[in-house]
Amino acid sequence: MSAPLRLHYRLRVAAGEDAERRAGHLAREQTLEAPEGIVPREIEERALGRVESVAPRDDGAFDVAICYPVEATGRELPQLLNLLWGNVSLQQGVRIERIDWPDELLAAFRGPAFGVAGLRGLCRAESRPLTATAIKPLGLAPRDLARRAGECALAGIDLVKDDHGLADQSWAPFRERVLAVHDQVERANRVGGGATVYAPNLTGPADRIGERVELLAEIGVRAAMVAPALLGFDTLRSLAETSGLALLAHPAFAGTLAGGEHGFAPGILFGDLFRLAGADAVIFPNAGGRFPWTYDDCRAIERRLGAPLGELDPAFLMLGGGVDAASLAVWVPRYGPDTIWLVSGSLYRQDDLRRAAAEMVAIVATTPARPA
């Protein structure tokens, strides 16, 4: 008998509701989905989730551990996610705090294709934190987006990515935009001797991603951005296995899954699951920016992206969401070196984009990160 998949939940029950009973229902809902007493005993033994412990917490909720047989996941990502958060997503007061991953299950997933080492190789940056910017805004023409990308590449920014709202709008259609931006970034790399990597936004129609990946391969683009909650986590997994691209995973549409009493702890969703699905870097809003996430949330994600997880490579945490270039000297030391600093708005606010970007690059290059 192989090790089970163990989920650690925080369970908040209604007044008068019995926590043990609720935990039992949860284990049943996520597996047999059939009431007690109608399933043959050998099937229950084979497939039913098993409540391992239920213990009251100081905050009035309960710590619950439930073990699931690995075979129930089918060793496929959609069914794994269904086991984790399928029907239970329609309930209330359940939060997945931690997952004990059995090696047998992890072995079914390759995770990041590049990981920290591979992405560092692309950017020719051995051990320091990386820098990134998003070209924007929506509404701008390809040549203007390309010009901005070129300036940032000349300044030595490691990664230039499309803003995640840039799709295939007529203002800057995917193909035209990608050709123009790639050209400017390559030109800057030749002129300045840098190794800036351009990551276009690949989040698009399911039946057009293949042709877009082909275009990127054809012209030599080495990275792309995808939003797994928009595309399906398994599309990220499939792209990581087959596209040859380093993949930046964007949290769009995913925030609700990790925001409160009901959902995933941020470290599990944006750490374990994004990494398992194949993200080489996970974009997340830093504390103190435009979004309500805390430093603890960000650190928890950072830890899960770097922690041992079977044979899976670690991934970068890419912090953005309103990071001001001027605050980097304060923020860089608060995270480890496998961090990518994504700064956009505060660069554009300055008159000389290239100089602003170069200053940002210098701050990140000279400010020691938290020791790994």
Residue numbers 298-327 binding a second copy by CB under 8 A? 321
| Burial state string for 202-238 with b = 16 or more CB within 10 A and e = fewer than 16 | bbbeeeebeebbebbeeeebbbbbbbbbebbbbbbbb
Tell me which residues in 42-71 interact with a second copy (CB under 8 A). 43-44, 46-48, 71
In total, the chain counts a number of residues equal to 372
Question: What is the distance between the alpha carbons of residues 180 and 147, in angstroms, rounded to a whole number?
Answer: 9
Interface stretch with a second copy, choices 3-11, 85-93, 145-153, 303-311 (CB under 8 A): 85-93
Q: How far is the CB of 125 from a second copy (least distance, A)?
A: 26
Work out which of 271, 278, 285, 306 binds a second copy, going by CB under 8 A.
Answer: 285
Tell me which residues in 93-122 interact with a second copy (CB under 8 A). none
Name the DSSP letter for residue 268.
I
Question: What is the distance between the alpha carbons of residues 139 and 163, in angstroms, rounded to a whole number?
Answer: 11
90 touching a second copy, by CB under 8 A:
yes
Q: How far is the CB of 30 from a second copy (least distance, A)?
A: 8
288 touching a second copy, by CB under 8 A:
no
| Burial state string for 89-106 with b = 16 or more CB within 10 A and e = fewer than 16 | eeeebbbbbbbebbeebb
- The footprint of a second copy on this chain (CB under 8 A) covers a number of residues equal to 87
Q: Which is nearer to a second copy, 125 or 202 (CB)?
A: 202
Q: In sequence order, which residues have a C-beta less than 8 Å from that of residue 108 and are 6 or more positions away?
A: 75, 76
Q: Which is nearer to a second copy, 158 or 162 (CB)?
A: 162
Q: Which is nearer to a second copy, 184 or 235 (CB)?
A: 235
**Residue 334 has which token pair?**
């608060």
Q: Which is nearer to a second copy, 58 or 351 (CB)?
A: 351
CB 188 within 8 A of CB 194: yes
Tell me which residues in 202-231 interact with a second copy (CB under 8 A). 203-207, 227, 229-231
